[in-house]
């Protein structure tokens, strides 16, 4: 894996100016760049025009990619929501936090393995990304999905955000016929979001909230988590968009679902509106935007297909590349990285060190040493690779989309997946075989053993929780949920 275009000298000059707080482009009084983290829920690796979708239309996000940096080997730190979100907020691997599954996870009481007790909240002892910015004098806001704890003490306002709009226990818009909650359409039944007029679309509402915050805080530095509920199920979108894509369906296309396509377009419009607002306020040249997803795209069932992550194998809740490959774009106007395409493998744990470094916020050494993320600054300035030799995943859980307890390592072009249920491992060379179709476990035993040992050493180093033998194991009921 290697990268890209040397920009070293220009970059350092710009960074020095930025850190000194005297950059002319800065609009707020203290000269700090604003930051907006746009996290889309379940957006698959090929779900954007600039990542190869042949059906979904995403002109605003594609334009952002052209004006920023597009990562071609970007990974979420888990195949499901909550662990990735926790790793973004802390810079730590989910395994290190023992927050390894979505909250509250699927329960398979008769499965072959018993999953470990795992943490269902963000630890208050962690110094979050929001706290880092808040302590540096930033106004901090969380807008949208959170999904990092059932109790109010676990919600964004108690983890460094000055304001929380719409973030609470739920990982998807709330649907309840008895109470009249309609998912993506108001009323939402969300305790952190006052209901708008009936049938207001959630993403449009949250976008307006973000734009209003930008307007109100234009003269002070702000850090905004805009974590969309889109494009997670339930699949719901405005009728005009669904009609548009229904008319465009073509059996030759890889992507086929018109409602999902409409949800992707809602996402694109949200990004477009936020950028337009930043431009209107004269803040676009002083705002860092990180756009990403929290896990791979959901494939769905045969009769109700959602998206397709081809050429990547499988999708959300699975053990292969489709579960953890995500689109990622970084727009950082100060570092002259416009139009770069970076092939180095990166992961969600990196957002924390990257964004703080770009904003000139120092992380204390003690905290840094407990972090797993690496700053992308060496990649952005063409100085070479990140300070890591491998990326790791650890998911000691079962998921209805197909995952059984497993760990995985990617090192260079190689990926090894260790399946705890079967006791078998799989080895792939991603350079030759991006779709993970040719298992080389028996043909390169030296490589396989090396990666297996390295993966095991890593698990020990982060004190990863392991599944155990399940005394309740019942083969006939092993795939049944409680
Ligand atoms: Ca998700």
Structural domains of the chain sorted by starting position, each given as residue range(s) with its CATH number in brackets? 8-389 (3.40.720.10), 393-477 (3.30.1120.10)
Distance between CA atoms of 264 and 383, rounded to whole angstroms? Answer: 35
Q: How far is the CA of 44 from the centre of ligand 1 (A)?
A: 10
Cα 232 to ligand 1 centre (Å): 7
Whole-number pLDDT of residue 28: 61
Tell me: the pLDDT tens digits for 90-111?
Answer: 999 999 999 999 998 999 999 9
The pLDDT score that the predictor gives to residue 29 is 55
Task: Indicate if the pLDDT at residue 122 is higher than 80.
Answer: yes
pLDDT at 25 exceeding the cut of 60: no
What are the pLDDT digits (tens) for 222-250? 999 999 999 999 999 999 999 999 999 99
User: Pick the catalytic residue: 26, 60, 78, 81?
Assistant: 81
Catalytic residue among 98, 106, 147, 174: 147
318 CA to middle of ligand 1, Å? 13
d(CA 367, CA 364): 5
Q: If 0-12 CB within 10 Å is exposed, 13-18 middle and 19+ buried, where does residue 177 land?
A: exposed
Active site residue 81: yes
Q: Specify the range with the lowest mean pLDDT, choosing from 252-261, 299-308, 352-361.
A: 299-308
- pTM of the full structure: 0.94
State the average pLDDT for the chain.
93
How far is ligand 1, taken at its centre, from the CA of residue 19, in Å?
A: 34
In angstroms, the Cα distances linking 134 to 63, 162, 176, 213 are 30, 8, 36, 16
pLDDT at position 146: 98
Query: Does residue 98 carry a catalytic annotation?
Result: no
């Amino acid at each position: 894996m290697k990268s890209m275009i040397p920009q070293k000298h220009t970059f350092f000059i710009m960074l020095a100016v930025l850190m000194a707080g005297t950059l002319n482009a800065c609009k707020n009084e203290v000269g700090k760049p604003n930051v907006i983290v746009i996290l889309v829920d379940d957006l698959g690796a090929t779900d954007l025009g600039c990542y190869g979708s042949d059906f979904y239309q995403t002109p605003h996000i594609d334009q952002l990619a052209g004006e920023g940096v597009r990562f071609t080997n970007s990974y979420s730190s888990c195949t499901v929501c909550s662990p990735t979100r926790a790793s973004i907020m802390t810079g730590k691997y989910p395994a290190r936090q023992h927050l390894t599954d979505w909250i509250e996870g699927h329960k398979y009481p008769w499965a072959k393995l018993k999953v470990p007790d795992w943490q269902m909240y963000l630890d208050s002892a962690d110094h979050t990304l929001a706290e880092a910015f808040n302590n540096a004098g930033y106004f901090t806001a969380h807008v949208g999905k959170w999904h990092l704890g059932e109790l109010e003490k676990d919600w964004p306002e108690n983890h460094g955000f000055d304001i929380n709009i719409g973030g609470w226990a739920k990982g998807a818009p709330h649907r309840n016929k008895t109470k009249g909650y309609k998912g993506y359409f108001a009323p939402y039944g969300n305790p952190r979001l006052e209901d708008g007029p009936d049938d207001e679309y959630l993403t449009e509402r949250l976008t307006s909230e973000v734009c209003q915050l930008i307007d109100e805080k234009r003269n002070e530095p702000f850090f905004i988590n805009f974590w969309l509920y889109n494009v997670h199920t339930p699949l719901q979108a405005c009728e005009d968009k669904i009609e548009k894509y229904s008319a465009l369906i073509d059996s030759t296309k890889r992507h086929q679902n018109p409602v999902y396509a409409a949800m992707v377009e809602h996402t694109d419009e949200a990004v477009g509106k936020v950028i337009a607002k930043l431009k209107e306020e004269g803040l676009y040249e002083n705002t860092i935007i990180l756009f990403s997803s929290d896990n791979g795209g959901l494939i769905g069932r045969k009769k109700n297909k959602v998206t397709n992550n081809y050429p990547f194998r499988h999708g959300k809740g699975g053990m292969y590349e489709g579960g953890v490959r995500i689109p990622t774009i970084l727009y950082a106007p100060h570092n002259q990285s416009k139009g770069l395409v970076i092939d180095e493998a990166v992961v969600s744990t990196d957002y924390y060190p990257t964004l703080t470094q770009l904003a000139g916020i120092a992380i204390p050494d003690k905290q840094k040493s407990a972090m797993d993320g690496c700053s992308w600054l060496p990649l952005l300035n063409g100085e070479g690779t990140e300070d890591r030799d491998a990326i790791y995943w650890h998911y000691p859980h079962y998921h209805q989309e197909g995952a059984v307890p497993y760990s995985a390592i990617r090192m260079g072009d190689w990926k090894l997946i260790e399946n705890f249920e079967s006791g078998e491992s799989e080895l792939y060379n991603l350079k030759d075989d991006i779709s993970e179709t040719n298992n080389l476990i028996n043909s390169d035993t030296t490589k396989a053993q090396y990666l297996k040992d390295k993966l095991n050493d890593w698990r020990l180093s982060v004190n990863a929780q392991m599944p155990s033998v399940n005394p309740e194991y019942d083969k006939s009921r092993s795939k049944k949920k409680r």
